[in-house]
């Protein structure tokens, strides 16, 4: 190696005029600026900083959005503004709800549907015949509204759990929470046959809530980030917990009588056929309250996405936030499963769709997931009532058939996933 000394006119490392080693950054014109004190070759000068060829990053509101935004840009996905997504999603959900009121074995025109709704809610209009009024108001309205609430609750729960576990595969169904809630409901059905009506009113939802809470707590303790490989450990623990609750459900299925067995089959397949105004009233308040709490926690979820230690450094009470999220998602899942049975893939697929279109910031992710989840289940329930009339396709079967290939396509097209 040739050493360049001060005064050597070689042109590589020094000049005879200045007598300085340019490679060491001591020259005031070429190496170090005496006024700014920066090494121009390292790109620390604000006026000569290297150009970032990746382009500007979209505002996501959280640090994990950088990787997601980069992946979306590489995939050619252009983010939709939240100001556009919210009204469009709300209008689409309202239109789907109104259309669903009139679709079924007895088809009714939108005019008849709006006339019945105006008469029953506002007391205006001439009114329709008793059959149309009964079909729209007594049968389809509570059912469709419950489907919208259930889709919103499952989608918001899935988005919250994915941020809590920092795992994109977290879902109330896949990680065993729905199984725990369903097992709790089935246990209440079999063990309390003399008070079946009371169990339908409050005991079954309470048991489903406790089952979902137990499953969520156990899975989080065994598979939380930082203890092992996140995805594999989470899936294995979820499979184990789900298998345990499935065994409990199978045992009570074996000992149940005919009437109880019919109810248990209803929970396992999932359906909105038995929803009426009483059941809708019982579940609407906890679902709306739970969704509201999760929406309020959007900043805490952004922090938790960074990791528990980083969230603590930002001033977040991680233990309180974690306990709140676990309890609320268990409440939402338990309330849905207690009346609709097991419905899978909504909490898994919907948040991914929203992230692709709007980014990972929870300020947009949570409300848009609620709208899209409600829209998805309203459309699925409408299709379930019209595919093979007068029979109905179970809603859980329909969502699984729709969600499984979509999620597989999502995994295969993602450039970030390694199989």
- pLDDT tens string 372-384: 999 999 999 998 8
d(CA 254, CA 261): 8
d(CA 12, CA 396): 73
d(CA 226, CA 416): 21
Could you tell me the two tokens for 328? 């609320």
Q: What is the pLDDT of residues 234-263, one digit of tens each?
A: 667 878 888 888 898 889 888 888 888 877
Res 196 pLDDT > 60 = no
Residue with the bigger pLDDT between 307 and 87: it is: 87
Could you tell me the two tokens for 193? 């046959």
Across the chain, what does the average pLDDT equal?
76
d(CA 340, CA 270): 5
Instruction: Please answer whether residues 264 and 258 qualify as being in contact, where contact means their C-beta atoms are separated by less than 8 angstroms.
Output: no
Could you tell me the two tokens for 394? 């179970």
Q: What is the pLDDT of residues 134-148, one digit of tens each?
A: 889 999 999 999 999
Write the class of the CATH domain 77-413.
mainly alpha
Q: What is the pLDDT of residues 11-63, one digit of tens each?
A: 444 444 444 444 444 444 444 444 444 444 444 444 444 444 444 444 333 43
Smallest CA-to-CA distance from 375 within 50, 15, 96, 4 is with: 96
d(CA 214, CA 183): 11
CA dihedral sign of residues 96, 102, 106, 107: negative
The DSSP result for 189-244, as a single string, is: HHH-GGGHHHIIIIIHHHHHHHHHHHHHHHHHHHH-TTSS-HHHHHHHHHHHHHHH
Q: What is the pLDDT of residues 281-339, one digit of tens each?
A: 888 998 999 999 999 999 999 998 888 788 888 888 888 888 888 888 888 888 888 78
Could you tell me the two tokens for 349? 């697929």
């Amino acid at each position: 190696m040739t050493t360049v000394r001060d005064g050597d006119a070689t042109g590589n490392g020094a000049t005879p005029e200045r007598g300085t080693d340019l490679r060491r950054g001591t020259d005031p014109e070429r190496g170090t600026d005496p006024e700014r004190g920066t090494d121009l070759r390292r790109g620390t000068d604000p006026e000569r900083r290297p150009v970032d060829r990746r382009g500007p990053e979209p505002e996501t509101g959280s640090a994990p959005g950088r990787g997601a935004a980069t992946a979306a840009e590489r995939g050619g996905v252009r983010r939709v503004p939240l100001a556009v997504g919210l009204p469009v999603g709300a209008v689409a959900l309202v239109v789907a709800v109104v259309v669903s009121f009139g679709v079924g074995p007895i088809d009714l025109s939108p005019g008849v549907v709006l006339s019945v709704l105006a008469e029953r809610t506002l007391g205006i209009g001439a009114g329709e015949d008793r059959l149309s009024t009964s079909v729209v108001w007594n049968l389809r309205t509570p059912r469709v509204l419950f489907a919208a609430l259930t889709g919103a609750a499952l989608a918001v729960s899935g988005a919250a759990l994915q941020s809590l576990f920092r795992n994109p595969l977290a879902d109330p169904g896949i990680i065993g929470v729905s199984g725990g809630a369903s097992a709790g409901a089935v246990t209440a059905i079999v063990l309390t046959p003399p008070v079946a009506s009371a169990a339908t009113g409050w005991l079954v939802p309470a048991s489903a809530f406790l089952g979902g809470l137990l499953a969520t707590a156990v899975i989080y303790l065994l598979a939380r980030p930082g203890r092992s490989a996140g995805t594999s450990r989470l899936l294995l623990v979820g499979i184990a917990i789900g298998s345990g609750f499935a065994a409990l459900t199978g045992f009570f299925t074996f000992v149940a009588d005919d009437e109880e067995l019919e109810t248990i089959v209803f929970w396992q397949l999932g359906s909105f056929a038995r929803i009426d105004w009483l059941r809708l009233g019982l579940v609407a308040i906890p679902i709306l309250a739970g969704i509201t709490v999760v929406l309020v926690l959007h900043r805490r979820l952004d922090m938790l996405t960074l990791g528990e230690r980083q969230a603590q450094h930002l001033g977040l009470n991680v233990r309180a936030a974690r306990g709140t999220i676990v309890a609320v998602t268990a409440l939402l899942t338990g309330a849905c499963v207690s009346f609709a049975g097991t419905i899978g893939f909504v909490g898994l697929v919907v948040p991914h769709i929203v992230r692709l279109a709007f980014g990972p910031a929870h300020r947009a992710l949570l409300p848009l997931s609620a709208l899209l989840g409600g829209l998805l289940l309203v459309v699925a329930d409408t299709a379930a009532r019209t595919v093979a009339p007068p029979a109905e396709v179970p809603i859980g079967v329909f969502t699984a058939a729709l969600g499984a290939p979509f999620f597989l396509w999502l995994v295969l097209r993602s450039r970030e996933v390694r199989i």
